[in-house]
Structure 1
Amino acid sequence: MRAPDPAGGLAAAALDRFRGRLPRAIDLTLGRVHRLLGRLGDPHRRLAPVIHVAGTNGKGSTVAFLRAMLEAAGLRVHAFTSPHLVTIHECVRLAAPGGGRLVEDAVLADALERCDRASADDPVTVFEALTCAAFLLFAETPADVVLVEVGMGGTEDATNVFDAPAVSVITRISRDHAEYLGDTVEVIARAKAGIVKAGRPIILAPQADPAAAAVVAGTAARLGAPLHAAGADWSVETIPGGFRYRGARGVLDLPPPSLTGAHQMVNAATAVAALDALSGEGPRIPDAAVREGVRTARWPARLQRLTGSSLADALPPGSDLWLDGGHNDSAGEALGVQAAAWAADGLPLGLVVAMLAVKDADAFLAPLASRVTALRAVPLLGALPGGARGMAPERLAGAARAAGIADAAVAAGVHSAVAELGARLGRPCRVLICGSLYQAGAVLATVRPGSG
């Protein structure tokens, strides 16, 4: 969970007061959350059916597809996601007729103030306060389904307070947040599997590492949780003009996802599998609504094209500019696949990269390196959680050269890096800004409205 933005209004100011009382940005325990929710009347026990989503990569995109599909079916949907990109209000989406809306500043600030009063003698972290405020608002606003994305891990994440979620989902698991979750995929998978609940269905997306799948399967078996695993119980495959899902609803041919990248077909199919499991507790989501959700889902900074922006204007005519917040080995792999697909049009690819100091730049860049013509490493901007530091651009450029990107250098910032790559490549080109959601948020906050 990132720190709140300084321009976020009343809600951001309310969150700052929590930071002043308990300055730790991340503290993975559940006791404080349970106590605060109890003082608030246990709002998490008064919600519509909950779909709880954990994983390393694809959580937010899967939630975006779920929300689009459910709303296309005419259902009212709450959603809690993190981190935000530009303002803290992005984390809380409240159900409304015709589609959900981001929470209003005064509404979120009021909920946070109530959390503040209830927790006065028992401080909580910023993310814990935001989570409890979201659940409070979700309990007070009618909805048909609640979507909740795990912040980090699963077992001790502040969102892991549901005794019997309607459906739990675990997307692809890979190495990330090793300083909090552990440094092996097996250990991280055990943390993610903490959202599995006795007797409740669990959807498992395709896993690159069989060890991760084995951990989740073992947890599900121990708890008697019905496991719906990719490859065994449902599948996704690319077909001409889109992709095919096979699962509980049968065979369903779907259009290309609105979100760019082959990995988004997997995320969309994971969402369909979750809806099939949800149908045991509610209405079956029609195929037409699933198709509409696949076509219309939106999720910023996930291979988002920035059109009509001041940054794009710095590139030669005929160029395009993209933004992605991926920052680990799995994200690098997904971007590498996309870079291979892009190569068909012959445009040289330039990268503008910034990362947190704790991230593995080598693992992120390795799958991309063979497709990159030039790279510029820049300082990390944006509001960072307490104690976090950006990776030195010199270190990042060195990692790029070691990965095989010969033309890798340092630039002063994103704008100068984009302009420099445009001049260096000297003809229509493609530039991808990547490596950090914090940097992505800073970029989205500065480009002209309407970009993307």
Structure 2
Amino acid sequence: ANQGQKIPVFEILTAVTFILFSEHPAEAAIIEVGLGGRFDATNVISRPAVSVIMPVSMDHEAYLGDRVELIAAEKAGIMKRGCPVVIGAQESETALEVLIETAERLDCPTLVYGQDFLAFEENGRMVYQDEDGLMDLPLPRLPGRHQFANAAAAIAAVKAAGFEISHRAAEKAMTSTAWPARMQKLTQGRLVELAPKGAEIWLDGGHNPGAGVVIAEALAEQEEKNPRPLILIAGMINTKDQTGYFSAFKGLARHVYTVPVSKSDAGVPNDELALRATEAGLSAEPVNSVADALMLLRDSWDGPAPRILIGGSLYFAGAVLDENGTPPT
């Protein structure tokens, strides 16, 4: 089909995905965009049951544009005329306007977070609300305040796609959902054993300024519940705004160890990444590996057991899970 021309790995994987999905029919197929939306390899579904657009922030600027409204316009490219659209919580009013305008132009039935549906905490529970009423649910198992809005968007999307959700199903989703490398707590494994005794270790593959903010907020919540010094071990690739990512942790992280990303040719050298962290106002030093960072920390640590965030890239997070001996199952 590609007539011998060059083809990116993502497009090959996407083609294989659609072949496999066609051979193994399911009640619902969840297709996640790789980059942007409008020109993405996944964007060939002419009548999606629902299109979902989550928070839009600055990322992939070289391909999607250097303003949030341009990125939002690319994301809006997955909307199809007359098909339902769910718009998750948006930090940017400009992005929200672009998304709503596009949905209106395409006559899409549209549900907007904070307008048509929302979620909030009440008495240690999560309450989901839409035009059908309220659902009183357990708190999301995934840590971080942003998971309330994520859970709400998921419920709204499944309903908009035409499925009925029983209260029991929604409760099970809140309490059983697992998401590797998204605020994943590491409690065992080869790397964990190298950390200072009693350390709390989190792994998150978030890699842009927007992700940095929600990760920092989630860690600040943990800090309120159980104060500990925060240490970052970071690896990033060169297509990301490294200084912007680190800026979210100013005043929260005590120190940063920067390491190479072994699973990507685009990894930022550890000494250069340390400079980016320093530019963001953090104390930073380059080391050769996550294992080295943990051992350095263990040998020099004096004080309450630290809270450690390992992150900055999904490539990096995958390599960490592999090295720790705890890959996703």
Q: What does 1:48-197 correspond to in 2, within 5 Å?
A: 119=2, 121=4, 124-197=7-80
State whether structure 2 residue 290 is matched by structure 1 residue 409.
Answer: no
State whether structure 2 residue 236 is matched by structure 1 residue 355.
Answer: yes
Of 223, 233, 236, the match for 1:343: 223
Tell me the residue number matched to 1:379. Answer: 260
Aligned with 2:215: secondary structure? helix
Please tell me the residue identity of whatever aligns with 2:187: T
Tell me the residue number matched to 1:8. Answer: none
Tell me the residue number matched to 2:123. Answer: 240
CA-to-aligned-CA distance 1:231-288 (integer Å, 9 cap, x gap): 1111121223232211143211221212221111211111001012122xxx412121
Q: After TM superposition, give the deviation of residue 359 of structure 1 in Å.
A: 1.3
Q: Is the 8 A contact 1:353 1:433 kept in 2?
A: yes
Q: After TM superposition, give the deviation of residue 357 of structure 1 in Å.
A: 1.6
* Whole-angstrom distance in 2 between the partners of 1:272 and 1:288: 13
Aligned with 1:150: secondary structure? coil
* Whole-angstrom distance in 1 between the partners of 2:297 and 2:91: 33
RMSD: 1.8
Instruction: Give the fraction of aligned pairs with identical amino acids, expressed as a percent.
Output: 38
Unaligned regions of 5+ residues in structure 2, if any? none
Unaligned regions of 5+ residues in structure 1, if any? 1-35, 37-118
Q: After TM superposition, give the deviation of residue 122 of structure 1 in Å.
A: 5.4
Q: After TM superposition, give the deviation of residue 318 of structure 1 in Å.
A: 1.6
Aligned with 1:243: secondary structure? strand
Aligned with 1:165: secondary structure? coil
CA-to-aligned-CA distance 1:400-440 (integer Å, 9 cap, x gap): 2232323x111111110122223333341111101011110
Number of residue equivalences? 327
Of 204, 213, 231, the match for 1:333: 213
* Whole-angstrom distance in 1 between the partners of 2:310 and 2:4: 43
* Whole-angstrom distance in 2 between the partners of 1:233 and 1:222: 19
* Whole-angstrom distance in 1 between the partners of 2:203 and 2:177: 17
Q: Is the 8 A contact 1:357 1:392 kept in 2?
A: no
User: Taking structure 2 as the reference length, what is the TM-score of the superposition?
Assistant: 0.94
Choose between structure 1 and 2 for higher RCO, CA contacts under 8 A separated by at least 6 residues.
1
CA-to-aligned-CA distance 1:32-56 (integer Å, 9 cap, x gap): xxxx4xxxxxxxxxxxxxxxxxxxx
Q: Is the 8 A contact 1:249 1:276 kept in 2?
A: no
Q: Is the 8 A contact 2:258 2:270 kept in 1?
A: yes
State whether structure 2 residue 277 is matched by structure 1 residue 396.
Answer: no
Please tell me the residue identity of whatever aligns with 2:268: M
Please tell me the residue identity of whatever aligns with 1:439: F
Q: After TM superposition, give the deviation of residue 125 of structure 1 in Å.
A: 2.6
User: Taking structure 1 as the reference length, what is the TM-score of the superposition?
Assistant: 0.69
Q: What does 1:13-28 correspond to in 2, within 5 Å?
A: none
Of 265, 271, 276, the match for 2:148: 265
Please tell me the residue identity of whatever aligns with 2:320: V
Of 247, 250, 262, the match for 1:366: 247
Of 180, 199, 216, the match for 1:319: 199
Please tell me the residue identity of whatever aligns with 2:51: S
